[in-house]
Amino acid sequence: MTGGGTSTTPLLRYSVTLFMPEIPVWVVVGLGFGDEGKGLATDYLCRELPGALVVRFNGGPQAGHTVVAADGRRHVFSSFGAGTLRGCPTYWSRYCPVAPGPMLREYAALRELGVQPRLLLDGRCPVITHYDVLWNRAQEAARGAARHGSCGLGFGATIERQETTPLRLYAQDLAFPEVYQHKLHQIRAHYRSRCQQETSIPFDQLDHDAEDQRFVDYARQLQALRQQEAVELVQEAEVLAPLAPWPALVFEGAQGVLLDQEFGLFPHVTRSYTTSRNALELLAWHRPGAAARVLYVSRAYHTRHGAGPLPHADVPVPLIHHEQETNQFNDYQEHFRRAPLSVNLLNYALQCDANFSAGLEKHLLLTCLDQLPDGRIPACVEGQHRPLAATELGGLLDEGLANYVFSYGPCADDLPPLPTFAAR
């Protein structure tokens, strides 16, 4: 038979799968409109699984995942995984656009905290440019009272450009000036035409040459970090290979199921799959048979930062001990809103994720319980508003969960170990 390599490939793949070492795999998924505590959840899992690889599998640098260390250090993660303070490397998967400027600034901030981050950057990650940010903000401002709730950082515009035009800019391109400068010129022309046709922004009066030069400087700085091996340009297959050296995998989700582009309340959604979908697809492709567990996260009350419906927001939710809230007023998302915890919405989010995670072991981390003045959850149950003890919540959820963890503070070191950790 000719082409013997082709005929043996399936046998080799089967052999690797058969003898693949079993390692702990967790997927962190938010059940709300974002801001549930996914940074705390990821840091928690990395506390229990030292050296784990943190995989960002959706969203981009618009995420804001807050971690508070036991020694008082505090950082809001956007372009690095929330296990970084514990020395865990981050794999930035191809599902996640990267913004060179914000990533470099966050790298510098982490170095000031005494941390040496390690970022494994997939070469196929879309790159957010200043033109994507400009178009994002112009488009959202033009909507006026009909805003979608964008945070104005160019995430959705980048995904749209990558998916609907041939103007695709990838992380791997940033190593080749002739390539990315040509693509940047084409992207400028694309948005110039759109701005002139669809907005009143005086596009030609802006100093785009200066912004282009700043982008070139970012690309050069990124190359310098690659030479220092602080940032590594990688391929998905090598990072997630069965024999890769990671002792555990922690998939860190961004935003929340209620913002999912498939299941959220259009048009106030993100251009991202915020369920476990992407994470489980990566596992199916590269580690078939891996026994993943899901850690769902919800605050003890609902929140929303940005335009869009927030059921029961007319019911007051008084809080204490929330002075360090990460989410503050800004020009694009405006006020950070809160509402009682809707059991119906929790069940809806769980049902949405069950389309991908059926049969997996699932847990729930309930955060911000220390912010409730009487320790009882302000809840809406079957249309009725009433306070709940945290321990009552499990009996109201349609999904059978293996365990509930209750957080009464911002630090993961104050959380108890999950029984599954203690059993290993």
Please tell me whether 409 is known to bind a ligand.
no
Please tell me whether 40 is known to bind a ligand.
yes
Please tell me whether 66 is known to bind a ligand.
yes
370-382 burial, b at 16+ Cβ within 10 Å, e below that, comes to: bbbeeeebbbbbe
Please tell me whether 369 is known to bind a ligand.
yes
CB 169 within 8 A of CB 187: yes
Please tell me whether 264 is known to bind a ligand.
no
Please tell me whether 199 is known to bind a ligand.
no
Residues contacting 104, CB < 8 A, separation 6+? 218, 221, 222, 225
- At 162, give phi and psi (nearest 5°): -65, -35
CA distance 309 to 387: 22
Block residue for tokens 């729930």: 364
Please tell me whether 34 is known to bind a ligand.
yes
Please tell me whether 280 is known to bind a ligand.
no
Question: Rg of the chain's alpha carbons, rounded to an integer?
Answer: 22
CB 258 within 8 A of CB 298: no
Cis amide linkage into residue 102, ω under 30° from 0: no
Residues contacting 189, CB < 8 A, separation 6+? none
Please tell me whether 270 is known to bind a ligand.
yes
Please tell me whether 302 is known to bind a ligand.
no
Please tell me whether 303 is known to bind a ligand.
no
Nearest alpha carbon to residue 305 among 332, 341, 344, 274: 332
Q: Which residues are catalytic?
A: 35, 65
Run of H or E including 381: strand 377-381
- At 64, give phi and psi (nearest 5°): -140, 85
Residues contacting 10, CB < 8 A, separation 6+? none
Per the annotation, binding residues for GTP are: 34-40, 64-66, 368-370
Per the annotation, binding residues for IMP are: 35-38, 255, 270
Per the annotation, binding residues for Mg(2+) are: 35, 64
Per the annotation, binding residues are: 34-40, 64-66, 255, 270, 368-370
